[in-house]
Amino acid sequence: MKLIVAEKNIAAKRIAELLASGGVEEKRINGVPTYHFVRANQHYVVVPLRGHIVDVDFPMRYAPWIGTDLRKLVNSEIEYIEKEQNIIEVLRKFAQQADEVIFATDYDREGESIALEALQCLRSANPSIKTRRAVFSAITKEDIEKAFRNLKDLDYNLANSANARREIDLIWGAVLTRFLSIVSGQLGKEFLSAGRVQSPTLALIVDREKEILAFKPKPYWEVEAIFEKNAKKFAAMHKNGRFWEKEKALAVFKKKEPYGIVSKVTRTEKVIKRPVPFNTTSFLRAATTLGISAPQAMSIAEELYQMGYISYPRTDNTAYPATLNLRAIVEKLRYYKPVASYCNELLKHELKPSRGKATKDHPPIHPVDVPKEKLSGKHAKIYELICRHFLATLSEDAVAEVIAAELLVGNEPFIATGRRYLKLGWKLVYPYSSTAEVILPKLEQGQAVKLVDMKLHEKKTKPKPRYSQGKLIKLMAELGLGTKSTRHEIIRKLYARRYIKGNKAIIPNRIAFAVIDALEKQNSSILKPDMTAQLEKEMDEIALGKKDKNKVVEESRKMLALALEQLLAKKQEIGQALRRALLEDKKQFACTADNCDGMLVIRTSRAGKRFLGCTNYPKCNVTYPLPQNGKIEPLEEKCDVCGKPMIKVTARRFSYKMCINPDCPSKASWNKNKRENKNNNGVSN
C-alpha cells in the first residue's frame, strides 16, 4: 500500500480523483476523512492534513507572562508539540501498513515544513518507511500525473527555512508582545501585540499618518480657458500650471480676448505596455482595487487552486516557463463565457506572452481550467481577474495618440491635451484598466478658436495619500518585510489587533500611534526594516543550503537581545507613554463624583461583565452598568432627565442611545425603544 499525504482535505480529495483508475472510496477514520483507490493494481490511501499538525512553543515554565524573565525567554529552547492528534494517529496507523509515503503538500517552504512534520510522525511508527515527493504547481489531471511520474525527494533546506521563520517569529513576537503588554498594564485579552515584521510594518503606516497630520497645505491657483470650435467645447490649462502668487494668476484670468490662436499642435503615439504575468504581490494589489482585502484575496486564490482552477498562488515569478502550454489554456477558456469571444480571436494568432522576471519558483499565477460549477461573489471576481490578466499578457500592446495643442490668449499660452486610442490591444480584455479618451476638435496651427470662458481655480497642495493594502504590500516587498506568503497575513493581524482600520485607505488607531511613538522615541531597532530584511535574506540562504538553520536562529536571538536591552533601559518612559495613550483611547467622560478628577472608562469585572469605572479607583468607587452586547460609544450630550452622560449602543441591526444612570426614569423606556427600532430596522435618535 502507498500512502499519499496532502495539505488539506479539498486537495486530498481532488488528487485521489485525478489519480484513481476507477472510483474513490471515502472512509472516516478517527474523524479524519481518508480517500482509498486503486491505480495500476496498487492500493493507495490519501490522508489530508490541516496545514501544520505540530506547533512551535516554549516550555510550560515560560507560560506565565508576569514573573518570566524576558532575557531568559530570548534564549529559551523551542519545543515542537503535536496538536492534531486525530490526524497524527491516522498517519501512524497507515505508516505501519505502507511501504512508501508520497508527500503532495504545497511545494514551498511552508508545505515542505508541513511534510517534514508528517514524516516525523510517520517514522515514529515506521522508522524504515520510504519517502518521495510530488512536485506540482496546479491540481489538474496533467500536472498531477506528471508529478507522480517524476517523484522527487523532500527538500530539507526548504523545510528548515520555514522552521527557522517559525522559531524566530515565535521568539520575537513573544518577547516584544510581553514587554509592551507588561509595561503598559495591558494584559489578558487586550494585550499589545508586536512582532519582527508586524512592528516595522505598523511603523510605516503610522509614519505616513504623521506626515499627513504635519502637512501644511500651501495655496495655489490654476487658470483654465474654455474654447469652442464647431459647437464643441474643450478645456485648456495655462502652460504655467500652478501659480503660487494669486496676483499673477489674476493677471492672466482678467485678460479677456475673443479668440485664442493655435500656435502649435503636436501628435505623438504612446505605447501602453501589456502587463507582465501575475506574481503574488501584483495579484494582491490588483485584487484590492476590486474591493477585496489582501488576506481574503489570498484565501480565495488558495481555494481556487485546491479546486483545480488556477495555478499555485504563492510565487515571485513573472515569466511563464517555456514548458507551459499557453494555447491549451486559452482553448479551455473558450468555454468560460466572460472571455469566450476574446479567446477565439486570440487563437487566430501566434501567442507571444509578455515577460517579467524569471525565478526558480512556481510559474506566475494563471488559470488552468474552467470551473465545472458556477462561481459566485468574490470567488467569481478573483477567478475572472486572473483569467483576464492572463489573456492580457498574451495580447498586443495598446497604442494611443496623444495630442497637445498650444493656444495663445494674447501672449498667455494654454495647453489642451487630447487622447484617443489607435489600438486597444490588451485593454479590450482587461476592463480594470482605464480606456477613457479626451477627444479634441481638429486643430491646426494659426487657427483662431473662440474663447467662451475663463476660470480661476483656487486649490491647496495635498499630503501624500494613506497607504492602500495594495500599496503597502508593494512597499513591504521593496523593503524586504515578510515574504509573498506572509505579507497579507501581517496586514490581517494588524486589523485583528485593532491597530488599523479603513478599507480603501489604512488609518492607524490611537493605540498604534502610542506603540510606535514610544518605540521611536527610544530609537528602537525593532522598527527598522533593515534588520528584518537581513533575517529574511538569511532564511533565503537556509533554503539554498548556504546557511545553517540553528545558526540563523541564534543570530536572530542576539539581535533581539540587543533590542530588548534598549527597551528595558527605558521601560519606565515607554510604560508611561503607553498608559497615557491607552487612557486617552479608553476615555469616555469625566467622573460624576464630586471633587474627583478621574475619568470613567470601560472595565471588565472578574465575572466577565463590562461596566464604567473611575480611573481613580480605589479612591473613587463610582461605577455604572453597561449593556453586555454591542459597541459602546460616548456622546457629548447629557441626559435631558437626570443630566448624566449619554452613550450610543450599536448592535448588529440597530442602534440606540441611553443614559448611563441605571436609576434614571428615561431608562424605563429603553427596552420599548429597542423593540421599536428592531421592528423598524432603524436607528433611534
Per-residue pLDDT tens for 369-410? 999 888 999 999 999 999 999 999 999 999 999 999 999 999
The backbone torsions φ and ψ at residue 5, rounded to the nearest 5 degrees and listed phi first, read -110, 120
Confidence of residue 678 (pLDDT cuts 50, 70, 90): very low
Interacting residues of 591 by C-beta distance below 8 A, sequence separation 6+: 597, 598, 599, 600, 614, 615, 616, 620, 622
Distance CA 98, CA 121 (A): 14
**For residue 155, is pLDDT > 90?**
yes
Average the pLDDT over 624-651 and give the result. 83
Averaged pLDDT of the chain: 90
Where does 280-393 sit in CATH, by number?
1.10.290.10
Listed in order, the ranges of the chain carrying CATH 3.40.50.140 are 2-49+84-154
Confidence of residue 145 (pLDDT cuts 50, 70, 90): very high
Listed in order, the ranges of the chain carrying CATH 1.10.290.10 are 280-393
User: What share of residues in the chain are helix, strand, coil (percent, to 5)?
Assistant: 40, 25, 35
Q: Which of 161-165, 600-604, 659-663 has the lowest mean pLDDT?
A: 600-604
Listed in order, the ranges of the chain carrying CATH 1.10.460.10 are 163-213+465-578
Listed in order, the ranges of the chain carrying CATH 2.70.20.10 are 219-274+398-460
Give the model confidence (pLDDT) of 17-33 as tens digits: 999 988 899 999 999 99
Higher pLDDT pick, 682 / 434? 434
Q: Is 617 a catalytic residue?
A: no
Strand partners, 81: 55
Strand partners, 438: 419
Q: 618 preceded by cis ω (within 30°)?
A: yes
Number of H helices, E strands in the chain: 20, 23
What cell was used for 95? 505508516
CA distances (Å), origin 65, targets 27, 122, 235, 563, 570: 44, 35, 66, 19, 19
Confidence of residue 146 (pLDDT cuts 50, 70, 90): very high
Where does 163-213+465-578 sit in CATH, by number?
1.10.460.10
pLDDT number for residue 633:
79
Task: Write down the catalytic residue from 35, 107, 305, 312.
Answer: 312
Closest Cα to residue 456, out of 183, 673, 200, 256? 256
pLDDT number for residue 675:
47
Q: Could you give the percent of the chain with pLDDT greater than 70?
A: 95
CATH class held by domain 2-49+84-154: alpha beta
**For residue 273, is pLDDT > 50?**
yes
Please give the order of strands across the beta sheet that includes 42-48.
25-29, 32-39, 42-48, 2-6, 100-104, 130-133
pTM of the model: 0.81
pLDDT number for residue 680:
42
Q: Classify domain 219-274+398-460 by CATH architecture.
A: Distorted Sandwich (2.70)
Confidence of residue 514 (pLDDT cuts 50, 70, 90): confident
Distance CA 198, CA 527 (A): 9
**For residue 293, is pLDDT > 60?**
yes
Sign of the CA dihedral running 569, 571, 572, 578 = positive
The DSSP 8-state label assigned to residue 467 in this structure reads P
